[in-house]
Amino acid sequence: MKHLIALAIKFVIITLVLLVILTWAFDVSFMNTLMISLALTALSYAIGDLLIFLNAGKPTHQSTRNTLATFADFIMALAVILLIGWLLTGELASMVAPALVSALVLSAGEWFFHQYVDRSVVPWYNEYKSAKG
């Protein structure tokens, strides 16, 4: 249940950011923005939050794990928004600026989202990793 709540929070954050940047500022259609939001939420949560953030260092080094995962989330957001935006719109060059701005804003939010994941979603994971060594 905690993962579903975290996914919902992440989806809302990503969708709101992309609506403001892609749809309102760069005239990307609402449906294209929604499709990008869905894909980015799923990939970012699975890879950035669960795989990289939880395994990028010792549990006690939250800042290091957070930095690495946030950087990975930036690269992933940039790539996903650029690629899916290009596939949906047929315009690669016009998607570069929106993808870059969106990735920067989303990365700032990811820093705080990772702290939420650490405290509220997977606190057992830190205990498990600490016991293992």
In angstroms, rounded to a whole number, what is the distance separating the alpha carbons of residues 34 and 23?
10
Distance of CA 66 to the CA centre of its chain: 12
Q: The tokens of 5 are what?
A: 């709540």
Write out the chain's pLDDT in tens, 133 residues.
899 999 999 999 999 999 999 999 999 999 999 999 999 999 999 999 989 998 887 777 888 999 999 999 999 999 999 999 899 889 899 999 999 999 999 999 999 999 999 888 887 665 666 666 5
In angstroms, rounded to a whole number, what is the distance separating the alpha carbons of residues 104 and 2?
26
- Cβ 9 vs Cβ 113: under 8 Å: yes
